[in-house]
Amino acid sequence: MSEMLTITIDGKECTCEKGEYIYDVARRNNIPIPVLCRSDAFADHRACCRICIVEVEERGRRKVVTSCVYPVSQECAVYTKSEKILEERAVIFALLAHRAPDAKRIAEMNASMGSDGFDRLVTIDNEKCILCGLCVQACDSLGTGAISTVLRGTEKKVDTPYDRPSEFCVGCLSCANVCPTGAIEYAQTDTTRTIWNREFDLVFCEKCGNLMGTPESIQHAVGAQGEAPRVCDECRKRELADEMMQTYRYV
């Protein structure tokens, strides 16, 4: 068992394992810290949105750190709402809100900060993406690798290579689902789905008729050599259960 430490977060004593991230300790203790680029789905955090900043005081020295990746290494006092943090978080929210004026969630979060003085900032028309990178992380973790960040600096964006429909995209919607601001748009008809400019067919369960996904995503899930299932997970489970029941009945 690893070493246990006691730290304070906003004055509240919290016990944690050495090496645990401050954000995780705070969440366990019901102390809210806003995050955007962090998802429980991934063990690695990109720590790029920077709104989860907190102040940490260790051995009398106080510094601003990113709570989602800052490991507790010694006794310390954490401040999630110090004057400095509130000010800087407000600036970061204002920056995000002006980058992505069409992202509703960001606008709401920004409004809740109640800060002013940012009317002067410029906005990007019709933008929703805050470049948190979760979509790329999701796509990579599935092994599809259809999208990536493109360019750098203020020009950075997420895209498929050459801004063309990607042959590697399987239309699984993981990127769109993990996106905190609804920036990845897709369209769906009764029989097709379009995402990243590529149109996919849709496959329905032979048993219940529920949507199973695109043929590409179903095949991807079982590997290139695997046999694609024709019924949905639910129905397969039910089939299995039926089989089991049949078996036991004979016993």
Partner 1 sequence: MINGTEKILVCCGTGCIANGALGVADAIQAELDARGLSDDVEVSAQVVRTGCSGECEQGPIVRFMPRDLMYYRVKERDAAAIVDSLDGEPVQKLLFKKDGQTYEHMADNPYYALQHKVVLRDVGIIDPLSLDDYIARGGYKGLKKALAMTPDEIITEVEKSGLRGKGGAGFPTGRKWRTAAGYDVFPKYIVCNGDEGDPGAFMDGSTMEGSPHAVIEGMIIGALAIGAEEGVLYIRDEYALARDHIQHAIDDAYEAGILGDSIMGSGHKLDLSIVRGGGAFVCGESTALMASIEGRVGEPRAKYIRSVQRGLFDHPTVLNNVESLASIPTILREGGEAYARVGTENSKGTKVFAMVGKVKHTGLVEVPMGTTLRTLIYDIGGGIIDDRPFKAIQTGGPSGGCIPESLLDLPVDFDTLTEYGAMMGSGGMIVMDDRSCMVEVARYYVDFLCEESCGKCTPCREGLRQMRAILTDICEGRGKPGDIELLERIGRTMQDASLCALGRTAPNPVMTTIKFFRDEYEAHINEQTCPAGVCEKLTQFTINADACTGCGLCSRACPAGAISGDRKEAHVIDPHLCIACGSCREACRFDAVLTERRPA
Partner 2 sequence: MTDQEQASKISEIIEAYPADQRFALAAMQDMQHAFNYIPEEGLSALAAYLGCAEAQLYSMATFYKALSLTPKGDHIVKICNGTACHLRGAMNLATELKRNLGIDPGETTEDGTFSVELVNCLGSCALAPVMLVDGTYHNKLRVDQIPGIIESYANGEVVSAHD
For residues 160 and 217, which CB has a smaller minimum distance to partner 2 in the complex? 160
| Residue 42: strand, helix, or coil | coil
The separation between CA 162 and the C-alpha centre of its own chain, rounded to angstroms, equals 25
What is the total count of residues that contact partner 2 (CB under 8 A)? Answer: 16
64 interacts with partner 1 by CB under 8 A: yes
129 interacts with partner 2 by CB under 8 A: no
Which listed residue (1, 43, 122, 151) binds partner 2 by CB under 8 A? 151
The closest alpha carbon to 77, from 6, 29, 7, 13, belongs to 7
| Residue 226: strand, helix, or coil | coil
Pairing of strands 192-195, 186-188: antiparallel
Which option in partner 2, partner 1, none does residue 166 bind, with CB closer than 5 to 8 A by kind? partner 2
Which listed residue (7, 146, 173, 178) binds partner 2 by CB under 8 A? 146
Phi and psi dihedrals of 160, rounded to 5?
-85, 160
CB of 38 to partner 1, least distance (A): 11
217 interacts with partner 2 by CB under 8 A: no
Which listed residue (145, 165, 215, 229) binds partner 2 by CB under 8 A? 145
Q: Which residues 6+ apart lie within 8 Å of 123 measured at CB?
A: 98, 99, 101
Task: Dihedral sign for Cα 43, 44, 46, 52, please.
Answer: positive
- Among residue numbers 156 through 215, which ones bind partner 2 (CB under 8 A)? 160-162, 166, 168
User: Residue for token digits 């089989």?
Assistant: 243
Are 124 and 100 in contact by the 8 Å Cβ rule? The answer is: yes
- Among residue numbers 117 through 176, which ones bind partner 1 (CB under 8 A)? 117-118, 120-122, 130-131, 133, 149, 151-156
Which option in partner 2, partner 1, none does residue 213 bind, with CB closer than 5 to 8 A by kind? none
224 interacts with partner 2 by CB under 8 A: no
* d(C-alpha 152, C-alpha 216), whole Å: 31
User: In the complex, which residues of this chain contact partner 1 (CB under 8 A)?
Assistant: 45-51, 53, 64-66, 69-71, 84, 87-88, 91-92, 95-96, 98-99, 117-118, 120-122, 130-131, 133, 149, 151-156
